[in-house]
Amino acid sequence: MNTTQLEERFEKISIVPVVVLDDAKDALPLAKALCNGGLPCAEITFRTAAAADSIRAITKEYPDMLVGAGTILTTKQVQDAVEAGASFIVCPGFDPEIVDYCLSRDIPVIPGCITPSEVSQAVKRGLSTVKFFPAEAAGGLPMIQAMAAPFSQIRFMPTGGINADNAGDYLASPKVLCCGGSWMVKKNLIQEKDFDKIEQLVREAAAIRKEVFPWA
């Protein structure tokens, strides 16, 4: 999957569930809840040792799901994620080593950028989408709109503080490609294996896009 295809899928899905899995055994029931709820996508964060195995399990059982790796801090994690089946890489900040590593291997990468200097580095490398993290703490939608003015070719993936109450406002901005959020895949619900509740929250999250883009 190339970057253009990835961005098209992101825009269609609009909300990317950001997932933390402590146990890879929870990966498949979670994936089922995401697909049934209408968000066949997941950014599996490398905050736990279960990340790679979770990606491997989901991509094998649900090959049509859009599955990527988040919280990537090293090139070794990039290797592990891609070998497990990740279609994209998301970083919390702009790490030139990781970005250049991914670009040299045609691996779609979305680095975190919250300053014009960081966005400039992304533009210099030909990127068209960056992560805006932590979104709410860094100024939210007003900051995105202000920073986007001189960077017409860039769209943002705000993550951090995004929830059911403000996701629609972000998605309504033409400078926002999609939003990342974890409110529908809360860690406690996964630990309690309450996948029915997760599916319900996912369904409600998916409905936000329909409210913003009723014609889509």
Q: Give domain status of residue 16, yes or no.
A: yes
Q: Give domain status of residue 192, yes or no.
A: yes
Q: How many CA atoms lie within 13 A of 48 on its CB side?
A: 14
Number of residues that this document lists for the chain: 216
Q: Give domain status of residue 185, yes or no.
A: yes
Q: Give domain status of residue 132, yes or no.
A: yes
Q: Give domain status of residue 210, yes or no.
A: no
How confident is the model at residue 1, as a pLDDT? 87
Residue at 175: amino acid letter: K
Q: Give domain status of residue 99, yes or no.
A: yes
Locate 196 and state its tokens: 């029915």
Q: Give domain status of residue 212, yes or no.
A: no
Report the chain's mean pLDDT, rounded to a whole number: 97
Count structural domains, the chain: 1
Structural domain harbouring 67? 3-203
Q: Give domain status of residue 92, yes or no.
A: yes
Is the whole-model pTM more than 0.95?
yes
Indicate which residue of 131, 136, 175, 199 is catalytic. Answer: 131
pLDDT of 55-113, one tens digit each? 999 999 999 999 999 999 999 999 999 999 999 999 999 999 999 999 999 999 999 99
97 catalytic per annotation: no
Q: Does residue 155 contact residue 176 with C-beta atoms inside 8 Å?
A: yes
43 catalytic per annotation: yes
In angstroms, what CA-CA distances link 174 with 86, 152, 154, 157, 167? 27, 11, 10, 11, 13
| CATH number for 183 | 3.20.20.70
Indicate which residue of 7, 32, 43, 83 is catalytic. Answer: 43
Locate 91 and state its tokens: 């970083």
Residue numbers in the chain where pLDDT is lower than 50 = none
Q: Which residue from 20, 47, 16, 48 is spatially nearest to 34, judged by alpha carbons?
A: 16
